[in-house]
Structure 1
Amino acid sequence: MVSCSSSSGSEEDGEGFDSYRKGGYHAVRIGDQFAAGRYIAQRKLGWGHFSTVWLAYDTTTSAYVALKIQKSASQFVDAALHEIEILSSIADCASSSNASSNVKFVIQLIDHFKHTGPNGQHLCMVLEFLGDSLLRLIKFSRYKGLPLDRVREICKCILIGLDYLHREHGIIHTDLKPENVLLVSTIDPAKDPVRSETAPILERPEGNINGGVTSLIEKRLKRRARRAVAKISGRKDSMVETGEAPKPDRNIDGVDVRCKIVDFGNACFADKPIAQEIQTRQYRAPEVILEAGYSFSVDMWSFACIAFELATGDMLFTPKVGQGFSEDEDHLALMMELLGKIPRKIATAGAKSKDFFDRHGDLKRIRRLKFWPLNKLLIDRYKFPENDAHEFSEFLLPLLDFAPEKRPTAQQCLQHPWLNCKDSTPT
């Protein structure tokens, strides 16, 4: 799923022409009108497996918004209704308590409605327009890791958002990852319709007949042509693929790193969990792998994984299927190599524990572990100064406790010395 940027799928990847059929995506053309003409499509922002997202102009408020158009099949409609319920709960609570979710670093739902098209009836959500995802920021910095003062700023925003969701609403996000945290503004000012002072498109441009579907075909042909050139030349480096020479590392000093938590399609109320298998693989907590139940602390585990990725440019855990062992077992092994052995009581407490552990709490199929503590990893691999590595480790390690109840809450994290050693309070 995607909320309001191209984080879950870029235009270059393309959502696939075949998905524009009954039960699938709605084909949008620039200048198309929605909700009796209130919203006018400007350009595509991105796509996900459930929806496409468009920059739209709200003629009532004269503001730019993100228009999320769900696929029309019943399962996608049900998913959209669930997300609307969660986002409406946040919005209702905010208005009744005079607390703006704008201050709480959580995306705002502005409107929702149904739109009928040739592929069926699509539920549409209107969300505030935000900027690039943290994943795009990580890519923008060429996976080198961000300066720690910027990491602190981002962490504060996410923690304020999580504290708001957990304590004030009883909501578990369940899919926290860099793609699901968006900057309040675009990295490139030219891509922000307000900062670039782009005039809104108020009617369909001449000749724009097939809209998004045509552009998909054109992009597919261009990709095919680029691959053919690369094959002929026998080179597959970035210069052949993109026509550009590699650029030096980018500076993010001028980038506004305030951000908001988005995409509540998989979120749930803590007293009504909706699925046993939650979270994107690399950000998944051990109790979820073991099917030992979960609560707010799964979001805190994911948050720690994001913080590490922001600081280093690498994912904390990237498990793989191996000879004789599963991705789940490799994931648990990677956790133990970094954090030490999982206590036997925790290792054997889940519905799936017997798939991975013997009665002593040892992994059945991965016997040789190479321990590399977090502090040492930051110094040896990422060349952190010793003091920075020590302080950052002290912040992250409690969040990566195998015992979910021992992990600090978002509220407690906000008081941590590492987060407050510099003036990085988001405004």
Structure 2
Amino acid sequence: MSCSSSSASDEDEEGIDSYRKGGYHAVRIGDPFNRGRYIAQRKLGWGQFSTVWLAYDTQSSNYVALKIQKSATQFAQAALHEIEVLSVIVNGDPSNTKCVVRLIDHFKHSGPNGQHQCMVLEFLGDSLLRLIKHNRYKGLHLNKVREICKCILIGLDYLHRELGLIHTDLKPENILLFSTIDPAKDPVKSGLSPILERPEGNLNGGSTMNIIEKKLKSRAKRAVAKISGGRTSMGGPTQKPERNLDGVDLRCKVVDFGNACWNAKPFAEEIQTRQYRAPEVILRSGYSYSTDMWSFACTAFELATGDMLFAPKGSQSFCEDEDHLALMMELLGKMPRKIATGGARSKDLFDRHGDLKRIRRLKYWPLNRLLIDRYKFSDDEAREFSDFLCPLLEFAPEKRPTAQQCLQHPWINHTVSTNVSMKNKGVAMEKLEKGVSSLHMRVGK
């Protein structure tokens, strides 16, 4: 979950059953926290571990994001880990230039369901996922993608090189813009006065009793959309596609460190959200900073095209992991045998020759051709963007460039010349010929 996002989750509400001993804390608009310093304004979102609220900091006169963890022991421990990580992050960035979310405060709050660990984070805007949706999945102009990618890379370089941290769950949802896409949703720009006390008669405003009503409304909307045969989208079907984002501040920060780990102490074998998961994680062959770089490449592609790079699905014949690996090989060529057979799960997925056991028919389509044919990139745009992405999608994790190296890449700095020498052009094309599409229906499934 985007822990300091200005937008509520697009999924169903968290459910009234989760408000019990060990679960969520029921927040009401106007509720005070930490001896009255923070006043709840409205709910921003929720996740499996916590709910997040917009709050007003009466001490600094700023709006903040208040993350309230479930009270059960395992959730409290997870919160303490995140607080530890966020404290290291903020202490190492006194100038606030590293493009990573800042922890402002943390405390415990007692309620009917137990004692809840709370984190106060700087209030940020919409997630990159919301930006992609706002743009109607059309893909952003490459200059805008470049601007966003630079911020993400600054954040990753800081986490990896200076702090020794792996994020482990990098994706558009966990990268937030500095401000909201719609100024009317910004608590400062909208001009609304902060709520400083509980509104009269607000027994459950914005909290548990509203959940059932919101859930029913959400289901009703989906039912109407299904009957009409249409797909719901932001602003309704009559809204024009938002392709000119010139008024939107595209500076952004990396957020959500609930699953982050120290490179020297990885604590979970299965990390990363499925679509952004690196091959070494699937194969259980160990992971390091380069795992984040794989997720970054997937995110950059999604920003530029509006589509996920990998969207695997299981079937009766093969599992989701096998489909995921097949999609990767369709994009990048056959996985080197040493890598395919070198993980703890390799024997379940590959034969001794390094071929998938249950998916034999692969259809290859180079990445640069995909960008040209499907997404209408120019030849130069496709070549240059692919030259940036392909090294990040190396099957061998140690061969992927670091965030620091990516920041020096010509594509990021927009110094790529279309009149490169024939020698360099030949090298670039040789790399690109290894790539294929993962966004088509594979023959023989």
Shorter chain as denominator, the TM-score bin is: over 0.9
Correspondence for 2:368: 375
Q: CA deviation at 1:216?
A: 1.1
Indicate the residue corresponding to 2:422 in structure 1. Answer: none
SS of aligned partner of 1:52: strand
CA–CA distance in structure 1, aligned partners of residues 39 and 248 of structure 2: 29
CA gap of 1:176–1:8, structure 2 versus 1, over 3 A, is farther
Q: Does 1:218 align with 2:213?
A: yes
CA RMSD of aligned residues (A): 1.8
Shift in Å, 1:18: 1.1
What letter matches 1:355 in structure 2?
A: D
- Per-residue deviation at 1:128? 0.2
Distance 1:171 1:285 in 2: 17
CA distance in 2, matches of 1:287, 1:422: 32
In 2, Cα distance between equivalents of 1:335 and 1:8 = 32
- 2:25 alignment partner AA: H
1:393-423 Cα distance to aligned partner (Å, 9 max, x none) = 0000000000100000000000000111169
Distance in 2 (CA, whole Å) between partners of 1:128 and 1:229 is 38
Once the two structures are overlaid, the 10-residue window that deviates more, 207-216 or 269-278, is: 207-216
In 2: Cα distance, 1:243 partner to 1:174 partner? 33
Task: Please say if 1:318 is aligned against 2:340.
Answer: no
**Could you tell me which of 163, 184, 193 is aligned with 1:190?**
184
Helix, strand or coil at the partner of 2:362: coil
Alignment CA distance shift 1:230-1:92 (3 Å): closer
Shift of the 328–245 alpha-carbon distance from structure 1 to 2, 3 Å rule, reads closer
For residues 227 and 360 of structure 1, do their structure 2 counterparts lie closer, same or farther at Cα, with a shift above 3 Å needed? closer
Which moves more between the two structures, 1-10 or 284-293? 1-10
Structure 1 length-normalised TM:
0.94
Does residue 254 of structure 1 match 2:215? no
Compute the TM-score of the two structures, normalised by the length of structure 2: 0.90
Change (3 A) 1:86 1:228: closer
Aligned residue type for 1:336? M
Distance 1:144 1:207 in 2: 45
Q: Per the alignment, in what secondary structure is the counterpart of residue 350 of structure 1?
A: coil
Q: Secondary structure at the match of 2:228?
A: coil
Contact 2:55-2:64 within 8 A present in 1 as well = yes
1:104 is aligned to 98
Give yes or no for the alignment of 1:158 onto 2:152.
yes
- Mapped to 2, the partners of 1:243 and 1:129 lie a distance apart of 24
Of 109, 115, 120, which residue of structure 2 is paired with 1:115? Answer: 109
Helix, strand or coil for the counterpart of 1:360? coil
- What is the CA–CA distance in structure 1 between the aligned matches of 2:49 and 2:286, rounded to whole Å? 27
How many correspondences in the alignment? 414
Distance 1:187 1:371 in 2: 38
Q: CA deviation at 1:72?
A: 0.7
- Mapped to 1, the partners of 2:6 and 2:15 lie a distance apart of 15
Change in Cα spacing, 1:237 to 1:387, as seen in structure 2 (3 Å) is same
Letter in 1 for 2:3: S
**Could you say if the C-alpha distance between residues 224 and 389 of structure 1 is closer, same or farther in structure 2, counting changes exceeding 3 Å?**
closer
Tell me how far 1:199 sits from its aligned partner: 1.0
1:222-237 equivalent positions in 2, closer than 5 A: 222-226=217-221, 234-237=227-230
CA contact (8 A) 2:2 2:176 kept: no
Separation (CA, whole Å) in 1 of partners of 2:390 and 2:222:
44
Deviations 1:297-347 (A, max 9, x none): 000000000000000000000000023211001100000001000001111
Aligned to 1:3: 3
1:135 is the counterpart of 2:129: yes
Q: Does 1:304 align with 2:303?
A: no
SS in 1 for 2:92: helix
One-letter amino acid of the counterpart of residue 253, structure 2: K
CA–CA distance in 1 between the matches of 2:181 and 2:224? Answer: 31
Query: Structure 1's 305 and 37: CA in aligned 2 closer, same or farther, altered over 3 A?
Result: same
Q: Deviations over 1:257-316 (max 9, x none)?
A: 100000000000000101011100000000000000000000000000000000000000
The residue correspondences of 1:8-87 to structure 2 (distance < 5 A) are 9-10=9-10, 13-87=12-86
Q: Give every structure 1 segment of 4 or more consecutive aligned residues whose post-TM-superposition deviation is greater than 4 Å.
A: 224-231, 241-244
**Unmatched 5+ stretches in structure 2:** 417-445
